[in-house]
Amino acid sequence: MSTSRKGNLSYWEVTAIGVGGMVGGGIFAVLGLSVELTSGGAPIAFLIAGVVALVTSYSYAHLSVTYPSQGGTVAFLDRAFGPGLLTGSINILLWISYIVMLSLYAYAFGSYGASFFSPDSHIFWKHVLITGSVFTITGLNLLSAKLIGEAEDWIVLLKVVILLLFIGVGIWGIDSTRLAPPAWSSPLHLIAGGMIVFLAYEGFELIANTAQDVRDAARILPRAFFSSVGFVIVLYLLVAIVTVGTLPIEQIVAAKDYALAEAARPSLGQTGFFLIAVAAMLSTASAINATIYGAARLSYTIAKDRELPATLEKKVWGRPIEGLLITSGATVLISNLVDLSSISMMGSAGFLLIFAAVNSANVALADKTKSKRLLSLTGAVLCLGALGSLIWQTADNSPVQLWFLLAMIGAAFAIEIVFRVFTGQTMNLSKGN
């Protein structure tokens, strides 16, 4: 394993990528949903989800140092298990999960934007803004992927500063009785509630895509993974504490689509509501931009590995246009037709499955990555256990949502199987290392 490598990115820059990937819109979208499921235990739910992410980041750190690649997750799975049916299906599931994340960001953008309009027209404007945000940002990517990307660092800084302001002002007015254990949901519901918002942490894996460009990667990458996840855990905990501690549960649930803005009213008034809503729209717009192009590039990478049709491997004007358009079209459909709870469940379940696979990949490659096999095995078990609790909660409260999850997983395998039939590839689950 190489101990150092030439590159341009510093520790702070790589850490900022991880923080920006996680605080990319998820917290704005799923905070209200978490409170609805866990009541006063929402901070505990975010902590549980954060621990799963932190353990998984260990596998990502070691794999990124040993196998630096812009392919990130795709490259790690191919390296560990070979380009078989199972790996190809998981890689396609990753692409679908990114589309689900995009749908969450678009849904949140529309919800926060519609909060400025009258309640009677809220639903209409939400769908207009959802569709408009995806189409506009897709158009900007077709013209120049840098138009929004150049402002990304400033948007990340702005949203973190606004969240810290929200915490700093609101923490003085919290009612501790709303956060006490008697106000929590049952332990199983706390775990399940944490898992349905797990997608708020998934962005740390973007650090893996920078590995080739990091100076002294063996030292910087692990620190960047752990510190970015650790910082975001603390940030989410404090945001959840202030939200639950300053606003009645019923009020948070009633405004769950834009709960964070509503939670700013008690301490910052209408100005706080406006500030958080604008920050949420900026944050989710930048997240749509970063994720939509990343998902298109992912489809290009998977196609190069002969796990998707070659047409997705073609570039127009230096960009994977077909993948971009398919990703955008699917995002518009899901974000307009599927409710927030189902989108969150699909996204969290998808990434829990993928992260379980990445932890398993590091178990298989532990000798080469110089990792502690038991820690990665623990990460895989945690991810699968978390997925089980999420499925249990969904089956108990809204079993019809399980069809969305089955459809997502089934689509990933079906696409891969059909593609292999048409291209004459074998149906082996794995081809080994």
CA angle (29, 169, 273) in 5-degree steps: 45
Whole-number pLDDT of residue 293: 66
The yes-or-no verdict on residue 388 having pLDDT over 70 is yes
Q: Let me know if residue 433 belongs to a domain.
A: no
Task: Compute the average pLDDT of residues 249-256.
Answer: 87
Higher-confidence position of 286 and 412: 412
Task: Compute the average pLDDT of residues 396-408.
Answer: 88
pTM of this prediction?
Answer: 0.85
pLDDT level of residue 300 (50, 70, 90 thresholds) = low
Q: Let me know if residue 6 belongs to a domain.
A: no
CATH at residue 94:
1.20.1740.10
Q: Let me know if residue 426 belongs to a domain.
A: no
Q: Let me know if residue 3 belongs to a domain.
A: no
CA angle (11, 17, 18) in 5-degree steps: 90
pLDDT level of residue 303 (50, 70, 90 thresholds) = low
Higher-confidence position of 230 and 162: 230
Q: Let me know if residue 253 belongs to a domain.
A: yes
DSSP string of 3-24? S----SB-HHHHHHHHHHHHTS
DSSP bridge partners of 214:
9
CA angle (28, 394, 344) in 5-degree steps: 25
pLDDT level of residue 317 (50, 70, 90 thresholds) = very low
Q: Let me know if residue 422 belongs to a domain.
A: no
Mean pLDDT of the chain: 83
**Domain count of the chain?**
1
The closest alpha carbon to 53, from 225, 247, 189, belongs to 225
Range of the domain at 258: 11-417
Q: What is the pLDDT of residues 107-162, one digit of tens each?
A: 999 999 998 998 889 899 999 999 999 998 888 777 655 544 455 667 777 778 88
Check: CB of residue 240 under 8 Å from CB of residue 46: yes
Q: What is the pLDDT of residues 319-342, one digit of tens each?
A: 556 667 888 888 999 999 998 888
Distance CA 137, CA 134 (A): 5
Whole-number pLDDT of residue 428: 57
Q: Let me know if residue 1 belongs to a domain.
A: no
The yes-or-no verdict on residue 315 having pLDDT over 50 is no
Q: Let me know if residue 432 belongs to a domain.
A: no
Whole-number pLDDT of residue 11: 87
Whole-number pLDDT of residue 361: 95
Whole-number pLDDT of residue 18: 84
Alpha helices in 257-313, H assignment, sequence order: 259-263, 265-304
Distance CA 127, CA 131 (A): 6
Q: What is the pLDDT of residues 88-99, one digit of tens each?
A: 888 888 888 889
